[in-house]
Structure 1
Amino acid sequence: MTVCLGIDQSYSGLAMVAYDGDSQRRYSYLHAFAADRYTTQSDRLDAVQLQIGLNIDDITTMFGRIDVVAMEGYAPGSKFGRELAGELGGAVKLALLDKLNKPACYPLIVAPTKLKKYTTGRGTAAKAEMLLAVYKKWGVTYDDDNLADAYSLARAANSWFTGTGTKAETESLKDLKRFKGETHLV
């Protein structure tokens, strides 16, 4: 049994999907952390970190463990909100460090274009194409693109961890490494 966790982090739709490659069971979570619900940005980040920790507790209760985590990398061309996205990514990584043993606490960072290529075969797929590809490829239906991305991240983590998948899938993931704070390839 290999349990993989995919995290698509955003304030408007933070999505987490755990996937057991052997039993095909999954756990899905989606929540918005709208700024107007929190007094400060620090309170908002604290809520994110706490909620991720609670979900990790639920996942480890359900599956017994988490073997590998993949989270979506930052969009390098983004002009707005980079600082907030960086803070959010930091809160996610702190929750992982707090809740998971090594090396599972060090996530794979998957660039959005790599995730799209892994899932659809093209690095430029639109959100609707990702939703459709998740259904066509794996028979899983989500009505939210964040959940589809998180599921794709969990499946990519499973392929990376187990060395399984099509030639195109494994090729798209070949240079991924667990993030340990020094460097990472995306």
Structure 2
Amino acid sequence: MTDEQRKFTVVGLDLSLTGSGIAYRDGSTATVKTKQKDGDGRLAQIEQAVQIAVGGSEGLGPAVDLVVMEDIPQNSHAAKPIAMVHGVVRNLLVKTGIPYALVTPATLKSYATGKGSGDKVPMALAAYKRAGLEFEDDNQCDAAWLRWAGLEWLGNPEFSMPAAQRDALKKAVWPGVAR
């Protein structure tokens, strides 16, 4: 099988301490919701969910080729708790040898909608327009767009995007994955 024929597996993660969106390698999505009363145990819950998503448990098949995560927001009150979640998840990915990419929220919005700002509604509309999908919440929608961005970057897009929107992905931090 040539590289051009190879189908890559990508997981998208929109990480948050309260509601992390996961887009699995098969395209399905879920939200990992945690409760404040669980304290730092929430980090373990998120880590376990990500481990399952990337095939870190026995019997789930091969590990994924790439994980694409929304980068830690700058100048946000949410940056500190999101950074804690990123630390746990990145450590898991490093230990399992799975490469990951970081995409800023503005870059993800530019890829999805052609505009790097705005609320969550344009993201949801773009997902419906491009893929015919609706999501339970914006965490799942963002995770799906992160997965689609990774597939696009690896040369296996799920649907056609305008060139200008594809070019937005050049701003992301991509690992050295053979594509």
Return the TM-score normalized by structure 2.
Answer: 0.82
* Structure 2 Cα separation of the partners of residues 157 and 75 of structure 1: 19
State the partner residue of 1:168: 164
User: CA distance change for structure 1 residues 44 and 160 in 2, over 3 Å: closer, same or farther?
Assistant: same
Confirm or deny: 8 A CA contact 1:5 1:69 kept in the other structure: yes
In the other structure, the counterpart of 1:139 is 132
Query: What are the residue-to-residue correspondences of 1:72-111 with 2, within 5 Å?
Result: 72-78=70-76, 80-99=77-96, 101=97, 105-111=98-104
CA distance, structure 2, for counterparts of residue 90 and residue 178 of structure 1: 18
**How many Å apart are 1:163 and its aligned residue?**
7.4
Partner in structure 2 of residue 67 of structure 1 = 65
Kindly tell me: are residues 87 and 120 of structure 1, through their superposed partners in 2, closer, same or farther at Cα, counting changes over 3 Å?
same
For 1:57 and 1:161, the matched residues in 2 are separated by 19
The separation in 2 between residues aligned to 1:119 and 1:63, in whole angstroms, is 30
- What percent identity do the matched residue pairs reach? 24
Cα displacement (A) at 1:65: 3.8
Is the 8 Å Cα contact of residues 59 and 65 (structure 1) preserved in structure 2? no
Corresponding pairs, count: 167
- Alignment partner of 1:123: what SS? coil
Query: In terms of mean alpha carbon deviation, does 161-170 or 54-63 score higher?
Result: 54-63
Among candidates 12, 15, 19, match of residue 13 of structure 1: 19
Whether contact under 8 Å (1:68, 1:161) holds in the other structure is: no
Q: Counterparts of 1:163 and 1:53 in 2: how far apart (Å)? A: 24
Greater Cα offset, 56-65 or 167-176: 56-65
Residues 131 and 141, structure 1, Cα contact 8 Å, conserved in 2:
yes
Structure that is richer in helix per residue: 1
Whole-Å separation in 1 of the counterparts to 2:163 and 2:78: 36
- Deviation of 1:161 after TM superposition, in Å, equals 1.5
Shift in Å at residue 46 of structure 1?
2.1
Which residue in the other structure is 1:2 paired with? 8
Q: Kindly tell me: are residues 98 and 145 of structure 1, through their superposed partners in 2, closer, same or farther at Cα, counting changes over 3 Å?
A: same
**Given that residues 13 and 146 in structure 2 are in contact (C-alpha distance below 8 angstroms), is that contact kept between their aligned partners in structure 1?**
yes
